Structure 1
Amino acid sequence: MLRTLSFIAFVVASQAAEAPFIKPCKSGDNPCIVASAQAAVPFIAPGIPELGIKSLDPMEFDVIKGDQGGLSLTFRDTTVTGMKGCTVEAVKHDLNKGKQSVTIRCSVDLKGQYALGGQLLVLPISGEGKYHITIQDIIIKASAKVVTVDGEDGEKHWHVDTWQYSSTVRTNAKFEFDNLFNGNKILSDPLHSFVNANWKDVMNEIAPPIVKAIVTRVIDAVKALYKAVPAKYLEIQ
């Protein structure tokens, strides 16, 4: 791993930012593109500072906030792990139309501090303390408009212009919130049981700001990769 990163650093320094962990593919060769993307995951997940790519596993957030209807939520000092185990299920790439899309399946673990207040589904909820959320098999589909631009190195580079995403959880999600209702177990235990029995609906209430933060960080990594690596190293012409 260190040898690979040293090689990348040398290449970047010499302004020939080829990424040796990426196998270039022809546009439209989806099996090749999926295999190439999957092979790159373990290299990109820990971050590549030389290419401006921040760590995706672990992934850390100072603050994530959301207001889902009658529910106010704040997550602080959140650490997300598990992204290095993501599976790339599908990739579509059509540079002629300026479109790229990817579908990934991940199981992630989130820990940090929370503050919740308001109503979650049909029940009132309040509390502050530590939280732990495990999500099994979240399917994230992201699509982007990609344009070709002139890089500072004089080479042609891809650039993510706009993007959107959707997500769904295929298997399960589990929620643990310490100190709900100021530690009143008579209130907190039934709420935990209700929340975990209705995890799909709870995900729709709680997860959107979390998932958006994660997807944004992944897109930022892709943007950094495209900025550092000329398009000629990413696609066979």
Structure 2
Amino acid sequence: MLRCLCFFAAVFSVRSASAPFITPCKQGDAACLKSSAQAALPIIAPGIPELGIKPLDPLRLDLVKGDQGGLQLSFRDTVLTGMKGCTVENVKHDLTKGKSLVVIKCSVNLQGNYKLGGQLLILPIQGEGKYTINIQDIVIKTYSDITTVEGADSKPHWHITDWRNSYQVKTGTQFQFDNLFNGNKVLAVPVHDFVNNNWREVMQEIAGPIVRAIVAAVVDDVEALYKAVPAEELFIA
């Protein structure tokens, strides 16, 4: 869902001595921002240790928890792949207002350990074991607020003060939860049929915490970049 998101606006709108993989763009040049972001994405995705940027593909999520309308969910030791293939749909970056918007579309695969209990839409569900979720064409919009702070080098550096996201799956999602109802196939098969036939509604129930965890990982990487690279190297004045 995801690597990838001023995230991308500033992260990918630049070329500097510290981050030569970023092509510079003038503020307001949306076409340049979009193409620069797309070109830089596969370079950023594996991680750049010298800049403190951790891998986003594969992205490892130790624990994601949620309580969604009576459904308790826990995903542990998740490995997400596919972020390097994301498409940058839109990038807006306003330095004057300290606002950015990034829209990406991704197809990703998640594998790990799950625990579910409670009510999923109209069905009771319970289980614990391995899981796989394959998502085709999830569109993630990320809005961020940025400010300028003094870095350790006494130069101005950007800093993300707040962010939020929304998402929508365009094409489809397939779910596989091993050991539902302690391996009772009579109960598990109808639940799998239901969740895969009603993937859109199921994604609205369970995907929020997962998407937020992915975006949070991207935010951490962008913060690392901002800390390493002065703001004056991240745009064309």
Determine if the TM-score, normalized by the shorter chain, exceeds 0.5: yes
Equivalent residue number for residue 43 of structure 2: 43
Equivalent residue number for residue 3 of structure 1: none
Please show how residues 154-173 of structure 1 align to structure 2 within 5 Å: 154-173=154-173
Q: Helix, strand or coil for the counterpart of 2:206? A: helix
Please show how residues 42-81 of structure 1 align to structure 2 within 5 Å: 42-81=42-81
Q: Helix, strand or coil for the counterpart of 2:146? A: strand
Q: Helix, strand or coil for the counterpart of 2:18? A: coil
Report the TM-score, using the length of structure 2 for normalisation.
0.92
Equivalent residue number for residue 146 of structure 1: 146
Q: Using the TM superposition, give the Cα deviation of residue 154 of structure 1 relative to its aligned residue in structure 2, in angstroms.
A: 2.1
Please show how residues 192-211 of structure 1 align to structure 2 within 5 Å: 192-211=192-211
Counterpart contact for 1:108–1:136, Cα < 8 Å? yes
Equivalent residue number for residue 228 of structure 1: 228
Letter in 2 for 1:103: V
Question: How many aligned positions are there?
Answer: 222
Calculate percent identity across the aligned residue pairs.
64
Which 5+ residue runs of structure 2 have no aligned equivalent?
1-15
Higher RCO (C-alpha under 8 Å, 6+ residues apart): 2
Equivalent residue number for residue 125 of structure 1: 125
1:131-162 Cα distance to aligned partner (Å, 9 max, x none):
00000111000111111111111222111111
Q: Distance in 2 between matches of 1:86 and 1:235?
A: 23
Equivalent residue number for residue 181 of structure 1: 181
Corresponding position: 1:113 with 2:110: no
Counterpart contact for 1:17–1:230, Cα < 8 Å? no
Q: Distance in 1 between matches of 2:187 and 2:121?
A: 16
Which runs of structure 1 show a deviation greater than 4 angstroms over 4 or more consecutive aligned residues?
none
Q: Distance in 1 between matches of 2:37 and 2:107?
A: 18
Report the TM-score, using the length of structure 1 for normalisation.
0.92
Q: Using the TM superposition, give the Cα deviation of residue 18 of structure 1 relative to its aligned residue in structure 2, in angstroms.
A: 2.2
1:45-78 Cα distance to aligned partner (Å, 9 max, x none):
0011111111100000111111101100111110
Q: Distance in 2 between matches of 1:220 and 1:171?
A: 29
CA RMSD of aligned residues (A): 1.0
Which 5+ residue runs of structure 1 have no aligned equivalent?
1-15
Q: Helix, strand or coil for the counterpart of 1:62? A: strand
Counterpart contact for 1:105–1:140, Cα < 8 Å? yes
Equivalent residue number for residue 100 of structure 1: 100
Please show how residues 7-18 of structure 1 align to structure 2 within 5 Å: 18=18
Corresponding position: 1:136 with 2:136: yes
